[in-house]
Amino acid sequence: MVLTYFGNGAFRLQSGETSILVNPENNRLKADVVLKTLVAVENPLAREADDSLEIAFPGEYEIKGIEILGFPIAGESTEKFLKTVYVVYWEEMKFVFLGHLSKPIDAALMEELLEPDLLVLPVGGGHFLEPEVAAKIAKQLEARIIVPSFAKSPDEFLKALGKKAEKAEKFVFKQKDIMGDKGRPVVLSES
Q: Give the pTM.
A: 0.93
In a 13 Å sphere around the CA of 152, the CA atoms on its Cβ side amount to 4
* Residue among 122, 133, 63 nearest 96 (CA): 122
Core vs surface per residue 45-62: b (16+ CB within 10 A) or e: ebeeeeebbbbbbbeebe
Which CATH fold topology does 2-186 show? Metallo-beta-lactamase; Chain A (3.60.15)
Amino acid, single-letter form, for residue 119: L
pLDDT digit string (tens) for the chain, length 191 residues: 999 999 989 999 999 999 999 999 877 888 999 999 999 877 545 554 555 688 988 999 999 999 999 999 988 988 889 999 999 999 999 999 999 999 999 999 999 999 999 999 999 888 899 999 999 999 999 999 999 998 878 999 999 999 999 999 999 999 999 999 999 999 999 88
The residue type found at 95 is: F
Where on the phi/psi map is residue 166: left (φ > 0), alpha (ψ -120 to 50), or beta? beta
| Region of residue 13 (phi > 0: left; psi between -120 and 50: alpha; otherwise: beta) | beta
* CA dist., res. 31 & res. 135, Å (int): 30
The predicted pLDDT at position 51 comes to 58
List the domain boundaries for the chain: 2-186
The 3-state DSSP class for residue 67 equals strand
Beta strands (DSSP E) in 27-181 are 33-35, 38-40, 47-49, 52-55, 59-63, 66-72, 81-90, 93-97, 118-122, 145-149, 166-168, 170-172
